[in-house]
Chain A
């Protein structure tokens, strides 16, 4: 269900476990000055990411499972980015999700 338009439009993040990577993704988005909503759910990063995108009024969703992250954007049925989780790349994906919305080149 898409967010109603009288509320602030956000990037939607669906995640399996609350851990370091989730915190990094949130930090990446926040540092770029954008907003997010969170939901914990079961599933793999691809199905989570796709579902997240469909719930986001900005049309941008991030899916995080135990091993990987995906970034889905409106207009693309496959992920714009898929990355294996490392100790530091959560920040990069969060940042890129926000930069995508701002029209800036991705890091």
Chain B
């Protein structure tokens, strides 16, 4: 028999495997090749990419086109995913009642209580009261001189608030110490002639008094219901290095919930209604209760309705369908926190707002693979057939991984969806496409670190983070230190960077290494671990059990994800790991290999 090829056209990569069967039907693998997929998967434009990949495979196998007798292409899964995040809480500061930023260099220590007043107005004021001096644009030496004079003259100044970054400079020139906060750019918004309290924490600690509701009650003489109202203020100030609270008539910190709307999980017979504000768990629980999801709709004219409509519109454009024909087949909801600037904030304060992230998966109509097969056949003059279901082919190919056996569960961790395929000795076949995969992980990293940079988020996802400790050395997150031979540019000094080959990509945002690492790992767990658990649960419901799981797909190459999954699943007695197709290709070429193993017709049993 002549050598033949299996061609897998994926969303981003086209992979080819070439093999040959001898007289007894024994298959030998001869070579592989891959190339970027040209055009959208399932369209005639894919032919170019197929030819390129095939040529590479032929070279690898030391064969030419005329040596090939047959090409198998797979029935590509017409599945596309998308994800978005909806914020469901909002923090507002009204009447400039609180300042809670974290200036780099506050000065003095302790708590100061007094009436807020512009520094220029103090010498006309009542000497029996204590004051918090507010200083707009004034030179630090003059500030110190004035305060010293005022104190000499008998005025009581219990704290200072500076617009400019001068707290240490002023404090060093004062004859009596008092707490000083600086970098308050919106200082003109702070109400004057009101009772206020300022606090600067001791070195290394955070404030103790203004983050305690009962201490706030003591200072401002609040009763118990008023104390309940200041709870959000105290909460926002926990962990801060400095703070200022001003008592105004209606001023408070308000934590609002932004009604996101409801979701309809639509089955054939009935619909389930879930309020997005109840969080991701409620949504996923409701989803678990559905037997076969037909579609997901958002409540009209709500944020969630708009979000789902825009997802469907986007997916409609990708699959060339009317938005009304798009049916969401699966949903993954994940609770998130998102750093957002507080409205009414005076110094750029940020609050971690609750958000719900959603990934939706849509099955488009079948892709025109037969058309594509004819186009390939015309182009190359080699008989081309469409066979096999993509997910099953991947599972069959995965079986060439040493150490695997039936029953086998394949988990294809892609960018837009997580796909499961189960095959066993008895001919049982189970496939499921789940929403939520690599792209959702990137979105979570992007949103939760407040990066606003998808490209940077991708890099953070895929590569370990490091800190530039000097112009000549970088400390990796693992603790390893790497030296460079030429001095690093000053813009990288002291910064977190992602090392991408020979490039150093700086993270300019105000995050610590610990936060980047934790968030990165959590994002991967929240998407992939959830989906693996969902997949296992679905298998259980079908009466199928899994003890061998093989991971393939782009996210299977992630440097820490397979390890995290192994850790989790080994406790359930499941062997899981990155595939090693044909014993040499890692998690790649699974479908292409499966296509070689496949016999004519659609039953895969003969392939095993």
Contacts and interface: CB of A to CB of B under 8 A. Distances in A.
A82 B472 CA distance: 20
Contacts of A30: 168-169, 172
A76 B495 contact: no
Most buried by A among B140, B469, B490, B495: B490
B62 to A, nearest CB: 54
B472 A75 contact: yes
Query: What 5 pairs between A and B have smallest CB-CB spacing?
Result: A105-B494, A105-B495, A31-B168, A104-B494, A80-B490
Given A31-B168, A80-B490, 5 more contacts: A31-B166, A31-B167, A33-B105, A75-B472, A106-B491
A85 interface: no
Interface of B: 105, 140, 165-169, 172, 469-472, 487, 490-491, 493-495
Contact of B165 (A31, A81, A106): A31
Contact of B471 (A27, A33, A73): A73
Interface string A24-37: 00010011110000
A76 B472 CA distance: 10
Interface in A51-107: 73, 75-76, 80-81, 99-100, 103-106
A30 B105 CA distance: 10
A35 to B, nearest CB: 11
A80 B105 CA distance: 24
A59 to B, nearest CB: 11
Indicate the member of A75, A80, A105, A106 with the most B CB atoms within 10 Å: A105
B470 to A, nearest CB: 8
A81 B493 CA distance: 12
Given A27-B169, A32-B105, A76 B491 contact: no
A73 B169 CA distance: 24
13 contacts: A30-B168, A75-B471, A75-B472, A75-B487, A76-B471, A80-B490, A103-B469, A103-B494, A105-B493, A105-B494, A106-B490, A106-B493, A106-B494
Contacts of B168: 30-33
B493 A100 contact: yes
Contacts of B165: 31
A33 B172 CA distance: 10
Contact of B140 (A27, A75, A76): A27
Contacts, number: 39
A36 to B, nearest CB: 13
Contacts of B472: 75
A30 B167 CA distance: 10
B515 to A, nearest CB: 16
Nearest to B472: A75
Contacts of A105: 493-495
Nearest to A103: B494
Contacts of A99: 494
A81 B491 CA distance: 10
A106 B164 CA distance: 18
Contacts of B469: 103
Contacts of B166: 27, 31
A73 B471 CA distance: 10
Contacts of A80: 471, 490
Given A30-B168, A30-B169, A76 B487 contact: yes
Contacts of A75: 470-472, 487
B491 to A, nearest CB: 7
A61 to B, nearest CB: 15
Max chain A C-beta neighbours (<10 A), residue from B165, B168, B470, B493 = B493
A85 to B, nearest CB: 18
B310 to A, nearest CB: 37
Contacts of B493: 100, 105-106
Contacts of A104: 494
Contacts of B140: 27
Contacts of A100: 493-494
Nearest to A79: B490
A103 B495 CA distance: 9
Contact of A31 (B169, B471, B487): B169
B494 A81 contact: no
Contacts of B490: 80-81, 106
A73 B494 CA distance: 14
Nearest to B168: A31
Contacts of A33: 105, 168
Contacts of B471: 73, 75-76, 80
Nearest to B508: A105
A99 B493 CA distance: 10
Nearest to B468: A105
Contacts of B491: 106
A75 B471 CA distance: 9
A103 to B, nearest CB: 5
Contacts of A73: 471
B162 to A, nearest CB: 11
Nearest to A77: B487
Interface string A12-48: 0000000000000001001111000000000000000
Contacts of A32: 105, 168
Among B167, B471, B472, B495, the most chain A Cβ lie within 10 Å of the Cβ of B471
Contacts of B105: 31-33
A105 B166 CA distance: 19
Contacts of A31: 105, 165-169
A91 to B, nearest CB: 8
A73 B470 CA distance: 11
Contacts of A27: 140, 166, 169
A31 B173 CA distance: 12
A1 B306 CA distance: 70
B135 to A, nearest CB: 15
A33 to B, nearest CB: 6
B231 to A, nearest CB: 34
A28 to B, nearest CB: 9
A31 B471 CA distance: 24
Contacts of B470: 75
A75 B165 CA distance: 30
A19 to B, nearest CB: 15
B173 to A, nearest CB: 10
A103 B494 CA distance: 5
B440 to A, nearest CB: 31
A76 B471 CA distance: 9
Nearest to A100: B493
